[in-house]
Amino acid sequence: MKRGFGKLGFICLALVICLAGMGVGYAAWTDTVTIEGEVNTGELDYGFEQYSCCCLCCPGGCQSDLDQLEQNMVNSLGYQSSDELSKGLEGGRSPGVGCGCLNHCDIEGVDTDGNGHIDKLVITTDGRCCGGILHFRAYNSGTIPLKITGVNWTGFNRLRARPIKSPVVEQLEPGEAVTACYIWTGKLDDDKRPYHFEVTLDATCWNTP
């Protein structure tokens, strides 16, 4: 015998619908996941170590031709060319060894940001210094790999610096260092005054395009 959908049926149907809705809501709620944690970024830091400079005596004094001046300085160290000087440095010979290296150059390391690492070199010479050799190690004092992209020379408008051994590298791991050597010229006979200049490094993360 057929019977209609009475009050009890409606109540049961309502309960079923409510339970279904609660199930869908619970399922949606349990799909939400909360993640907590810390993200530690690396520190990019670099500087100079084991730095030195020397002025070079030049036969005939300070030439007005900077190319000839550079050649005379290379010759005063016992080399015939800048390329030979570069090979000598790669072979372990100190750039300060030679009859042409004079103590008319003072070098000071400066920690500009107060973190305990030297990030600027200040070189001061007297009036007898036509040019000279700057030798240093650039090192990675941070916690991530970096690449050194350049060396900045400022403070003396006639200064010309050429790398004998460049510190520019594509990847330098934390704690590693690279040796560099530059020859600078610029002092001319018509100017007997002392001069000074500053040297800093440019670097960025190793994977920066």
**Residue at 91 is within a domain:** yes
pLDDT at residue 148, as a whole number:
96
Would you state the structure tokens that stand for residue 99, as one six-digit string?
């009859």
Distance CA(152)–CA(170), nearest Å, equals 18
pLDDT greater at residue 184 or residue 59: 184
pLDDT greater at residue 203 or residue 160: 203
DSSP state of 41: P
Distance CA(205)–CA(145), nearest Å, equals 6
| Tally of domains in the chain | 1
**Residue at 137 is within a domain:** yes
**Residue at 19 is within a domain:** no
**Residue at 33 is within a domain:** no
**Residue at 99 is within a domain:** yes
Residue 108, pLDDT above cutoff 90: yes
Range of the domain at 75: 46-205
Buried b (16+ CB within 10 A) or exposed e, 169-188: beebebeebbebbbbbbbbb
What's the pLDDT band for 1 if we cut at 50, 70, 90?
Answer: very low
0.85 exceeded by pTM? no
Distance CA(62)–CA(130), nearest Å, equals 5
Would you state the structure tokens that stand for residue 153, as one six-digit string?
């020379």
**Residue at 31 is within a domain:** no
Q: Is the dihedral of CA 83, 87, 89, 95 positive or negative?
A: negative
178, amino acid identity: V
At 188-203, the pLDDT tens digits run: 655 667 888 999 999 9
Q: Is the dihedral of CA 139, 143, 145, 146 positive or negative?
A: negative
Pairing of strands 131-140, 120-125: unpaired
At 58-88, the pLDDT tens digits run: 656 666 567 777 777 777 777 787 777 777 6
Distance CA(40)–CA(6), nearest Å, equals 65
**Residue at 178 is within a domain:** yes
Lowest mean pLDDT among 18-22, 51-55, 163-167: 18-22
| Residue of 108, 132, 146 whose CA lies nearest to 182 | 132
Cβ-contact 118, 139 below 8 angstroms: no
Residue 120, pLDDT above cutoff 60: yes
- Give percent of the chain above pLDDT 70: 63
**Residue at 92 is within a domain:** yes
